[in-house]
Structure 1
Amino acid sequence: MKPIRTFNVSPSLPKRLEPLRKLAYNLHWDWNFDTTDLFRRLDRDLWESSRYNPVLMLGTISQERLREVAEDEGFLAQMDRAAQQLEDYLKERTWYRKHRDRKPAGSAAPEATPEATKAETTFHPSSFIPHPSKDCYAYFSAEFGLTSCLPIYSGGLGVLAGDHLKSASDLGLPLVGVGLLYQEGYFAQYLNADGWQQERYPINDFYNMPLHLERNPDGSELRVSVDYPGREVFARVWRVQVGTVPLYLLDTNIEPNNQYDQDITDQLYGGDIDVRIHQEIILGIGGVRMLKALGLHPTAYHMNEGHSAFLALERIRMMIQEEGLTFAEAKQVAQSSQLFTTHTPVPAGIDLFPPEKITYYLGHYANTFGLSKEEFLSLGRENSGDLAAPFSMAILAIKMASFVNGVSRLHGAVSRSMFKSLWSNLPITEVPITSITNGVHACSCVAKSTQGLYDRYLGPSWSQASTDSPLWERVNSIPDEELWRNHERQRSELVVFVRERLQKSLRDRGASLTEIAEAQEVLDPSVLTIGFARRFATYKRATLFLRDLERIKQILHDPDHTHGKRRVQFVVAGKAHPKDIPGKELIRQIVHFTRDEALSHSVVFIPNYDIHVSRLMVAGCDIWLNTPRRPREASGTSGMKAAMNGLPNLSVLDGWWDEADYVRTGWPIGHGEDYDDLEYQDEVEANALYDLIEQEVVPLFYTRDDEDLPRGWVAKMKDAIRLNCPLFNTARMVGDYALRGYFPASDRYFNMIQDQYGPAKSLAHWQAHLFNHWYDIKIEDIKISEPAEIRVNQEIAVTAQINLGALSNGDVRVELYQGSVSATGEITNGVPVMMAYQGQDVQDNSLYTVNISYTNSGLQGLSLRVLPSHDYLSSPYEPGLVLWAEPERVSVDLQSGGNGHVLEVPVMSEAVAR
């Protein structure tokens, strides 16, 4: 029976307790223990049964209890302190104000990730003027993992997005999040009697979550509509307040939408390909319309993965229809102010849609743009000539962004390889895809008692100065005994939690009383505990540690007392995608392994992994295990969280771990090898894992002094904290995005729109002229003044004669490209050197010169190339045009009358347009 009218009934609080409402509706409480302690004090059992949801708690707590605490001076004092902390946090002077006001766009972040590649160079014309007071950055993501009571995330991508918002708030960035509000969210996991993952989809009650429904001035719901074939789909807008950052979420579960359209925002990553494209249209196109309806005018748009890439199409449409721009002009404005972060290390992870789906749902955009069907589809294709190719959301995002990055240094290199066909005539090291290594939000993952240690020995500013390496050196001042006893308490808390969770899981599936009672005996709070928790994708190899059952049993129980009863135990958790049958099989295998009498108390699988379980594991385990197939782990963040709590990592050299100080802060499995034979790889790396545990991990953990302290292990813990915390945190990460991405993108946007879009129109006109005449450029001659004998650091003069045709010197940049020559005749690790324009010769050829020298001996080579140049380009690679010299154009002027050796010039002659 449907109601004839609905009401939203809010909690009734005594006036003196009104601060609780504000505290409950700002997720700042999620990383502020004083506030969570306040809600726990209000009613511990209700706090836990509500899944740590203060809004639901305030709506269900008895009025008698509220009246009681309204008279409790101790509680009121604690509440007032928490309320004042929030007020102070919202008003404090921030990193953004300091850096945006005084740093020029494009400045390097103060704690940048290790060594940038050539592809990480961004060009920022000095004519760009920052407008910090008007900045607004829109961060689009299909999922956000903020807190366990808001289950609209599936795993690492969502938790990273949530941490991004938290650090943006900490830094004071004018950032807004944009996502979808899923009625069923991601599934709750449970196991059947055979250990097979089952999915349950609890309905999210938005009115009892820390969500605000956005309304118009007249009190009606704020709604946006998106066009689908034959109908409009409407979405209302909810807001989550994350400190100072608002996260706006679209919800289609409303009338007058039909049932199919109401279900668009039903499940995260659920449904078929049509549901997926419906969701991504709502996210990208609906998200842009929502921001406009809210009166927000972003100056930079950040696409966190390709799910939201349709936002670029909507921005272009709006500028065409509302500002009177052409497609080319509007594309320049959109591209100049858009960023794209890819998290995918393999092509199979990219959203691909059949061409007919794109034309069916979005064909009207092609008409508005004045493009043919194939021209429109080419926006999402690597090869525009391949008419059967699917439409790639990642390719669309790359083509529509001026800043593209992977999420670790290694992943940046993998991404350059994956997408190199878009710049097929560039050396792979120069493909303009950079990297910003992921991080984690320190205050969200460091255990409460560990934060207390940091407060005492590092100072209370550690959470605001999380990139300050000298500050983290103070970790060495923490007494070994304090750090170790604190960690032992965390391990004990984890064991208690695991036992309770397992017993609940067994009861839920109807296990016997004997089985339930035995769950109370699993794990030992004094034993070395290895943690493994992540998404159960097959490439993560969750069962690698069980490859040799006899050997792992020896390690777990040490039956011969080889190590003096130095036992080991494993805690495992994670979910497989509902459609990932191989991933589910891995979970089933682990559950079956735990039923082996020799393993049952020493290997446990925790069902329904979520943020809360993660926080307990990264604090309570002793070491963090990660065994992906290199290089398929784009970054990984759980190991970073573990390190912040003092856990060494035991991991394959992949993702973030490849650039960490893995010798001092843990143990690497292997040396970064690549394998063609995967079975052989598993054999080698499983044995390497066993060897490390037996020969290094176990002895270090169990070697104790007279005070029963593992001094060597504690030293490793301190190294894990002090060397990883300053680098692998989201304060550094978001600062990198701001300095390298948001600030320059906003500057480009403001410059593009000034004088009624004059620069955008000029750039579009120039690019049309460039494409029309690029292939008329001819490199007529290259003269190399070569000594009879070339020595290291000896100068060589190079002069080039180039016929630019209808183009001028200001339209191009001419570079000499030099480096060592490989056995295949290619320049490797080449370095471009700008050539100076010297005017024209009598045949109207443009002359360019440069003097170069070589710092290394051996076979060296050089080539010459021509690239586009314009003040408003974000990069000379943006148009995708490169012209390389042909060897036959080289002439050599031998000096000193000797038999000089002609420098080898590799063939790189084909011009290419992106």
Structure 2
Amino acid sequence: MKKRSTPSMPTPTSQAPVVTAPDLSSRSIAYFSMEIALAKALPTYSGGLGMLAGDTLRSAADTGAPMVAVSLVHRRGYFKQFLDANGQQTETDVPWSPDTLPTAGETVSITMQGRTIKICAWRFDVVGVAGHIIPVFLLDTDVEGNDPFDRRLTDHLYGGDTYYRLCQETVLGLGGVTLLHKLGCEPAVYHMNEGHAALLALGLLEDRLAPGAALSTATENDRLAVARQCVFTTHTPVPAGHDQFGLDQMYAILGQERGKALERFGCLHNNLLNMTYVALRFSRWVNGVAMQHGKVSQQMFPDYHVESVTNGVHAATWIGPELQNVLDEEIPRWRHDNQYFRSVYGIKPARIANAHACNKRKLVEEIAARTGEHFDQNVLTLGFARRVATYKRASLLLEDPKRLLKIAQKIGGLQIVFAGKAHPADAAGKGLIREVFEIAGKIKSNSLRIVYLENYDWELGATLTQGVDVWVNTPRRPYEASGTSGMKAALNGVPSLSILDGWWIEGCAEDVTGWAIDDGDTDAAEATSLYDKLEQRIAPLFAKPNSWARMMQHCIAMNGSFFNTDRMLGQYFANAYFPQAPAADATPETESEAEGMAISTSPKLQEPALV
């Protein structure tokens, strides 16, 4: 599987332009995320979490939401992936310069590691369909006068060791709150997108106290008041996804006063600073990212009430241009209101199928350019592209190579496209990539073609979800929190063949929007179900173009109209940001009043939901 290396990222060098900032005084919601996918050319994201954050802000811009966002600049990106002929992954930095972006116009300072650190920020404007702007501030510690170590803190997304990570999260939380307040932005709601942003609560707690007052004077009433401002979304049931730090690092980075405050307010778990528990203790609303994930998270954190808001994707970002043209002609209101996807039933299925054929042709051309492999436009093509982690089981599709080859020969050919990055420190994930290469090399033939495309990113993700015929997802239950790639495929009329976990529990209508891989006690049993569905249900339907086009119509109408960030953001507004509750500016005067206002997620104030 020969690879074509991707071009290196251009590094802009011009001076930052002077651009008028939106009025921040009216922005009532601050969205904090360690990673945000803002533009294809900016390496400020690693995968699904960053994509979700970017799609959320794009829908916020489309709907005129009063939001502002904060992240880090990540000057050297996540990483560019290279794969050799055996599937061995190596990585290089993706350096970029934010100098072409406008600045925030202010520099702030925080105390960390016993010294002062200066933080500047760059502004990226997310512009909506009607011109509304969501400003995103990218914090940057590469400021003259800072310690050399501190200047590198905003270089690498998820890079370095745990000490580096806690420093980054301190910059995000404390620096972000400080910057917004200096810019005149006083949000009523702070949304922590995963626990990386949890230390913003510490910044709010410090701001609540009288000038010069020690954190040791903060009361439970103060904690509850901060919690009234905060919303927390947890994104994973995988333990490694919940950041934990030793107490020595906590005290070294945050200092004695802050460390003792976090201890006193119950933010430690198993004698470690646990960022998820920081967020839980300082939030009035906590949610998982799918119905099932909400239930799993409730079991993980039984002392807290956990809701769910199922993720979505930004339709206009992920639908292929040919299909967008069809939708613009037939149901132009879809860009302003994604519920109009239900009206796709008024479009002839053949028009949808023709648009998909254009997308598939582009995918075939991209595969040929990258690998030299020539896929057949008319052969059933499966796609599997995810962050490579062991629980996602990238090789399950190849569990029984002999049967897979027999199926390919029986149905007139089968093509499979893999993609995905393993974290540089994840040896097991890298091993999975090599395993896919090894098996594919042994069984590929004229009937069965398999490729693994390197450097899975925004652009490749769009090409794949728009161009394959079936999207495959094989996580080990119950570790899939949501899984948004299948939603992107559905918006393009592509059905899924997936394990019933995450979003697919809600999105699977068997033989209508796709197929469920039956639960089994072993990988082999679940692979057998996958092969059975492929051979007995999927291939025969694919051989009937009119019936297949009708299924594509169902995917868009049924799943596209729900699994989008317009709907998701509306649920956050109605249920999390501004629910029927006391006014946001009502400050509790007494301890009992504070408890009454607070908060289903505070321990013991409400019984956890049954699961």
Query: Shared fold by TM > 0.5?
Result: yes
Q: Which residue in the other structure is 2:365 paired with?
A: 496
Q: Which amino acid aligns with 2:569?
A: V
> Which string of whole-angstrom CA distances, capped at 9 and with x for unpartnered residues, describes residues 658-712 of structure 1?
0124312000001xx4x6xxxx520111011111111111111013xxxxxx111
Q: How does 1:824-903 map to 2 (within 5 A)?
A: 870=596, 872-875=597-600, 878=602, 880=604
Q: Tell me which of 157, 160, 163 is aligned to 1:268.
A: 157
Q: How does 1:673-712 map to 2 (within 5 A)?
A: 673=519, 680-703=521-544, 710-712=545-547
* Residues 266, 277 of structure 2: 8 Å contact kept: yes
* Residues 336, 745 of structure 1: 8 Å contact kept: no
* Residues 439, 732 of structure 1: 8 Å contact kept: yes
Q: Which residue in the other structure is 2:426 paired with?
A: 580
Change (3 A) 1:259 1:620: same
Distance in 2 between the 1:727 and 1:264 partners? 39
Q: Which amino acid aligns with 1:727?
A: F
2:296 equivalent to 1:450: no
1:732 shift after superposition? 0.4
> Which string of whole-angstrom CA distances, capped at 9 and with x for unpartnered residues, describes residues 249-268 of structure 1?
10112211122111111110
Q: Which residue in the other structure is 2:234 paired with?
A: 342
Distance in 1 between the 2:555 and 2:41 partners? 30
* Residues 438, 729 of structure 1: 8 Å contact kept: yes
* Residues 337, 748 of structure 1: 8 Å contact kept: no
Look up the SS of the partner of 2:60 in the other structure.
Answer: helix
Q: Which residue in the other structure is 2:60 paired with?
A: 168
Look up the SS of the partner of 2:196 in the other structure.
Answer: helix
390-399 or 253-262: which moved more?
Answer: 253-262
Q: Which residue in the other structure is 1:258 paired with?
A: 147
Change (3 A) 1:204 1:631: same
* Residues 593, 599 of structure 1: 8 Å contact kept: no
2:479 equivalent to 1:606: no
Change (3 A) 1:715 1:323: farther
Task: State the TM-score, normalizing by the size of structure 1.
Answer: 0.61
2:278 equivalent to 1:405: no
Q: Which amino acid aligns with 1:393?
A: M
2:440 equivalent to 1:594: yes
Look up the SS of the partner of 1:238 in the other structure.
Answer: strand
Q: Tell me which of 308, 319, 322 is aligned to 1:435.
A: 308
> Which string of whole-angstrom CA distances, capped at 9 and with x for unpartnered residues, describes residues 753-802 of structure 1?
xxxxxxx232x3667xxxxxxxxxxxxxxxxxxxxxxxxxxxxxxxxxxx
Distance in 2 between the 1:57 and 1:446 partners? 33
Change (3 A) 1:592 1:239: same
> Which string of whole-angstrom CA distances, capped at 9 and with x for unpartnered residues, describes residues 355-375 of structure 1?
2221232234348xxxxx387
163-172 or 313-322: which moved more?
Answer: 313-322
Q: How does 1:457-856 map to 2 (within 5 A)?
A: 457=330, 459-466=331-338, 468=339, 471-502=340-371, 519=372, 521-556=373-408, 558=409, 562-563=410-411, 566-596=412-442, 598-599=444-445, 602-663=449-510, 664-670=512-518, 673=519, 680-703=521-544, 710-744=545-579, 748-752=583-587, 760-762=588-590, 764=591
Look up the SS of the partner of 2:375 in the other structure.
Answer: coil
Distance in 1 between the 2:78 and 2:246 partners? 26
Distance in 2 between the 1:261 and 1:462 partners? 46
- Identical-residue share of aligned pairs (%): 39
1:552 shift after superposition? 1.3
Q: Which runs of 5+ in 2 are unaligned?
A: 1-5, 16-21, 128-132
Look up the SS of the partner of 2:237 in the other structure.
Answer: coil
1:879 shift after superposition? 5.2
* Residues 508, 515 of structure 2: 8 Å contact kept: no
Q: Which residue in the other structure is 2:34 paired with?
A: 142
Computing the radius of gyration from Cα coordinates, the structure with the larger value is 1
Q: Which amino acid aligns with 1:189?
A: Q
1:323 shift after superposition? 9.5
Q: How does 1:231-242 map to 2 (within 5 A)?
A: 231-242=115-126
2:55 equivalent to 1:157: no
Look up the SS of the partner of 1:321 in the other structure.
Answer: coil
Change (3 A) 1:146 1:140: same
Distance in 1 between the 2:494 and 2:580 partners? 38
Distance in 2 between the 1:278 and 1:599 partners? 51
Change (3 A) 1:300 1:667: same
Q: Which amino acid aligns with 2:164?
A: V
Distance in 2 between the 1:185 and 1:228 partners? 23
* Residues 337, 745 of structure 1: 8 Å contact kept: no
Q: Which amino acid aligns with 1:874?
A: I
2:102 equivalent to 1:212: yes
1:193 shift after superposition? 3.9
Change (3 A) 1:272 1:49: closer
* Residues 380, 413 of structure 2: 8 Å contact kept: yes
Look up the SS of the partner of 1:303 in the other structure.
Answer: strand
1:341 shift after superposition? 0.3
Q: Which amino acid aligns with 1:555?
A: I
Distance in 2 between the 1:597 and 1:434 partners? 45
Change (3 A) 1:229 1:527: same
Q: Which residue in the other structure is 1:289 paired with?
A: 178
1:299 shift after superposition? 0.8
1:50 shift after superposition? 8.7
2:75 equivalent to 1:183: yes
Change (3 A) 1:485 1:253: same
Q: Which runs of 5+ in 1 are unaligned?
A: 1-47, 60-89, 92-131, 216-221, 368-372, 383-387, 424-430, 503-518, 704-709, 753-759, 768-868, 884-914
Distance in 1 between the 2:267 and 2:237 partners? 18
Q: Which amino acid aligns with 2:377?
A: P
Q: Which residue in the other structure is 1:358 paired with?
A: 250
2:116 equivalent to 1:225: no
More RCO (CA 8 Å, sep 6+):
2
Distance in 2 between the 1:477 and 1:533 partners? 32
Look up the SS of the partner of 1:527 in the other structure.
Answer: coil
Number of equivalenced pairs: 586
Q: Which amino acid aligns with 1:636?
A: G
Following superposition, which runs of at least 4 residues in structure 1 exceed 4 angstroms of deviation?
A: 48-51, 55-59, 132-135, 323-326, 745-748
Q: Which amino acid aligns with 1:570?
A: I
2:271 equivalent to 1:389: yes
Change (3 A) 1:656 1:375: closer
Look up the SS of the partner of 2:378 in the other structure.
Answer: coil
Look up the SS of the partner of 2:210 in the other structure.
Answer: helix
Distance in 2 between the 1:484 and 1:765 partners? 61
1:170 shift after superposition? 1.0
* Residues 79, 93 of structure 2: 8 Å contact kept: yes
Q: Which amino acid aligns with 2:207?
A: M
CA RMSD of aligned residues (A): 2.6
Distance in 2 between the 1:363 and 1:477 partners? 62
* Residues 33, 194 of structure 2: 8 Å contact kept: yes
> Which string of whole-angstrom CA distances, capped at 9 and with x for unpartnered residues, describes residues 468-517 of structure 1?
2xx33332222232222221121111010112122xxxxxxxxxxxxxxx
Change (3 A) 1:353 1:360: same
473-482 or 408-417: which moved more?
Answer: 473-482
Distance in 1 between the 2:294 and 2:288 partners? 4
2:100 equivalent to 1:376: no
Task: State the TM-score, normalizing by the size of structure 2.
Answer: 0.91
